[in-house]
Structure 1
């Protein structure tokens, strides 16, 4: 009979880190549920879709800065950039943004603006004011208006 390798047990600090990662993400999703009056599953899907679309609309350096302030577990759910994945066209204006989110969520475009606003509000309250201003400065005027309506 072949020996089955034993998994290396996690250290105490690794367990604490994983706990913090999970609780930060859970708190973020709970907050989205509250501000958007959303169910947990809807909030999670909306967060991934909206954040992914947002990251594709801002400058790469700014996207990196924004990612640094997001819950790590949320980042794990975002599609990974890779050569084997087709490049998706991301427009710059509000209508394109809403269309991309609607397609990702399998919803009609008319249904997604409240979800986008809820995620934008959750993001604005989660990230620093300076980062929120930097993100805003990277958006088209009509998307900037949607970002500001969450204040």
Structure 2
């Protein structure tokens, strides 16, 4: 029998909730793989890397709004901030964004634009249109272009 974080056994409703979270996350990842034509071994790491970089590029309040529309299980995989500045610089340009994702995925920068576009496409289809517009308005022009190319 599964245990709760406090060590006690899970109730039926807690088990259903955990199962729902897992299905929601799995559906999101499957959708990313399909729309982005990403390999199974890349899609989860790509989702975490791209979404994490995106969350660092937009205003904190907007990042919270975006997080609220993501599968909760995905949020568990994102690096936790401890109140300090991120160890890496996320920069302000598209090239900086692609460099960060390339470093995370251990790929050449020339290989990651298609991955970023695939994740952006799946993400845009997952979130509300209003949220997609809010994210876009928070990005510098060269990243707005990359975000729009997913439409």
Per the normalisation by structure 2, the TM-score is 0.92
In the aligned structure 1, how far is the partner of 2:103 from the partner of 2:87? 15
In the aligned structure 2, how far is the partner of 1:54 from the partner of 1:121? 13
User: Where does residue 23 of structure 2 map in the other structure?
Assistant: 23
86 and 131 in structure 1: CA distance in 2 versus 1, 3 angstrom threshold: closer
Question: What displacement does 1:84 show?
Answer: 7.6
User: Where does residue 138 of structure 2 map in the other structure?
Assistant: 138
83 and 124 in structure 1: CA distance in 2 versus 1, 3 angstrom threshold: closer
Question: What displacement does 1:39 show?
Answer: 1.9
Which digits, 9 at most, give the CA deviation of each residue in 1:25-64, with x for residues without a partner?
1001101111111122200000000000000000000000
Q: Which runs of 4+ in 1 moved over 3 A?
A: 83-86
Which structure 2 residues correspond to residues 45-56 of structure 1 after superposition, within 5 A?
Answer: 45-56=45-56
114 and 86 in structure 1: CA distance in 2 versus 1, 3 angstrom threshold: closer
Residue 96 (str. 1) matches residue 96 (str. 2):
yes
User: Where does residue 41 of structure 1 map in the other structure?
Assistant: 41
Question: What displacement does 1:88 show?
Answer: 1.8
User: Where does residue 107 of structure 1 map in the other structure?
Assistant: 107
Question: What displacement does 1:83 show?
Answer: 5.5
In the aligned structure 2, how far is the partner of 1:55 from the partner of 1:99? 15
Residue 70 (str. 1) matches residue 70 (str. 2):
yes
132 and 86 in structure 1: CA distance in 2 versus 1, 3 angstrom threshold: closer
**Which one has the largest radius of gyration?**
1
User: Where does residue 32 of structure 2 map in the other structure?
Assistant: 32
Equivalent residue pairs, number? 145
